[in-house]
Amino acid sequence: MSWLNDFLGIGKSDAELDSEAFPPVIGSDKQLFSFTYKHKHWLANRDVTHHITGDIAIGVQLEHSKIQKWSILMNNVQCDWSLNCLPEIYLFFNCIKRIEIYMDEQGHVLDTLYPISQSLFLKEKKKQISTHVKDKKQAANLQRFFERNL
């Protein structure tokens, strides 16, 4: 579960996260957070930290006594489009609105799904993201992603 710690940017230890990996839930539970995803770029002979921020809702639902479904929903995502990021990073935060994770009672991930949004939404995002493409490699990666998902 340390990926969740990194993703949410909260300072919990792996032991704390492991103890929370299968919270007691009867029916469903929902929590709201703000997140900051950080990574570095080498720009003008120095490291620049790129922050992607937004809001996240985590819903936990008991599928049956030994499996939980976690739904992670992202919105209000803000990116600095001027930095030369991999298109996949922009695509992840701007096109994938929901992540579904199925866990067993030991906190092991059984399956992770990234349901892609509706075609109309993706076409709009493709138009927006393509205005920020920096080179042919990014354009090719972007085209491949949308060919598979539209």
pLDDT in tens, 83-103: 767 767 777 777 777 788 888
User: What pLDDT is recorded for position 5?
Assistant: 47
d(Cα 22, Cα 70) in Å, to the nearest integer? 10
CA 71 to chain CA centroid, Å, is 11
Pairwise CA distance, residues 103 & 42, whole Å: 37
86: which DSSP letter?
Answer: -
Rounded average pLDDT over 14-20: 58
Q: What is the DSSP letter of 66?
A: T
Is 56:72 a contact under the CB 8 Å cutoff? yes
The per-residue pLDDT of the chain, averaged, comes to 71
Of 111, 16, 98, 112, nearest to 56 by C-alpha is 98
Q: Is the pTM of this model over 0.75?
A: no
Domain map of the chain by residue range?
2-87+96-117
Edge-to-edge order in the sheet of strand 109-113 = 28-43, 46-64, 67-78, 98-104, 109-113
Contact indicator for 5, 17 with CB cutoff of 8 Å: yes
Residue 49's Cα: distance from chain center in Å?
18
More confident residue, 2 or 1: 2
